[in-house]
Amino acid sequence: MTEAPRPKLTGPAATSAQERPELPPNLSKDQLLELYYYMRLNRSLEELLIRLFRQNKVVGGLYGSLGQEATSVGTAYALGKGDWIAPMIRNVGALLVRGYKPRDILTQYMARQTSPTQGKDGTSHFGDLKVRHVVSPISMLGDLIPVMTGVAMAGRYLGQKIVAMTWIGDGGTSTGAFHEGMNLAAVQRAPFVVVVENNQWAYSTPVSRQAPIRDFADRARAYGIASYTVDGNDVLAVWRTTREAVEKARRGEGPVLIESKTMRMAGHAQHDAAEYVPREMFEYWKARDPLVRYETYLTQNKIWDEDARRAIHQRIEGELATDLEFAEKSPFPPPELAEQGVYCEGCHTIEPEWRRPKEELMPPKSSVKAQWTVDDFGVFDPASAAQSRSAPVISEPEPNGARAARSPAQRKVTARPARKRRKSP
């Protein structure tokens, strides 16, 4: 998928008339404005939560996604209504796209009984299996990869044309669960999309101290699956890339890994001052703020005017004011609620939605001869091994011939065998 030339940023989001990208296909004007609404709502909601945290109205820690809004919103917006997601703690934007309201997030962080977990959890650990198809986050990083692989496989088993998606940070890709889950998804050709949010820091550890690679998309090669690298601060590039990946997975071509290069513009949480981050690094990424860039895009392409912009901001301010009032007037959970809902004993029923004849999965139609055919019996062939080692990486043209890792562009890579290392002299 070839991208239109990206703006060369010299200020916060400076572009010339010749550098304006074309309108993306399949997105109407209303949808383009809706993308901005979700990103602006994401940021405004978290700015409100910061103020509440400083007023001691937030129970527990507060984890933000400042600077990463385009990744959460753009990826979630590319999914269908029936698809499944498993967000992480910085994917508030994805929750908003899936239909959750600011009051759900506010009451959750403020531990009120009206929250999705009835005040039992102070962060974003909640989901909705029946309507929104949201699987609750798992604090053990990497564990959502095998879980969502199972969701994707289950959808195919039931005859549903769904795609499952989850997110993982750059540091989380070093966990065993991540690698085991990716390998299972690859072998099963699960309709699964994994978004690696490379936000440069795993708590206080920079990317260069986490892995000896520049592009985390390269890790997909080990599993024989396709991968993409995208500018995570360009919401339209994120949406285009994710849409292509989702369509590929839905067609049965196996899982896809997307690396979104972005920046965590704050500490790990509100208690972390991020003093380990070089100030010039913050300045570099501040000039690439995803909201400022998209605002410039909307203005230069005459998609909105000042009245439309003001209307969106006023709408968001009104929604946040109403939902904050609701949250502050909501009661804290009563003590007796602590013993309820610990174990599920008929509290809810999740029935499979079959969209294929069950007979297909029962003998004799499901019977498979328990003997596999191996064409070359696994023999080592020096000629074919040498040929595969010299096989080039398959990639698509990039804007101005620039490498995606060094410019705000997009790159797609397919799997290839690892090269044989030279022996040191």
pLDDT of residue 23: 53
Compute the mean pLDDT over every residue in the chain, rounded to the nearest whole number. 84
Structure tokens at 60: 């527990």
pLDDT tens-digit readout, 209-259: 888 888 989 999 999 999 999 999 999 999 999 999 999 999 999 999 999
Using the Cα atoms of residue 379, residue 380, residue 383 and residue 384 in order, give the sign of their dihedral.
positive
The 192-198 sheet, strands edge to edge? 84-86, 164-169, 192-198, 256-261, 226-231, 410-413
**In this model, does residue 67 exceed pLDDT 60?**
yes
**Dihedral through CA 237, CA 8, CA 229, CA 31, nearest 10?**
-10
User: Which residue's entry shows tokens 């990869």?
Assistant: 145
pTM equals 0.82
Question: What is the CATH code of the structural domain delimited by 17-413?
Answer: 3.40.50.970
Spans of all domains in the chain:
17-413
Q: For residues 20 and 15, what is the distance between their CA atoms, to the nearest angstrom?
A: 7
Residue 44 reports pLDDT greater than 60: yes
- Selected residue with higher pLDDT from 60 and 424: 60
Residue the block writes with tokens 């934007």:
93
CA distances to 97, 243, 339, 345 from 101, in Å: 9, 24, 27, 29
pLDDT in tens, 143-174: 999 999 999 999 999 999 999 999 999 888 99
Q: How far apart are the C-alpha atoms of 57 and 396, rounded to whole Å?
A: 50
Q: Where are the beta strands (DSSP E) in 45-113?
A: 84-86
Residue 150 makes CB contacts below 8 A (sequence gap 6+) with none
Structure confidence at residue 9 (pLDDT): 28
Q: Tokens 């390269």 sit at which residue?
A: 218
Residue 207 DSSP label: G
Percentage above 90 pLDDT, the chain: 55
Residue type, 177: A
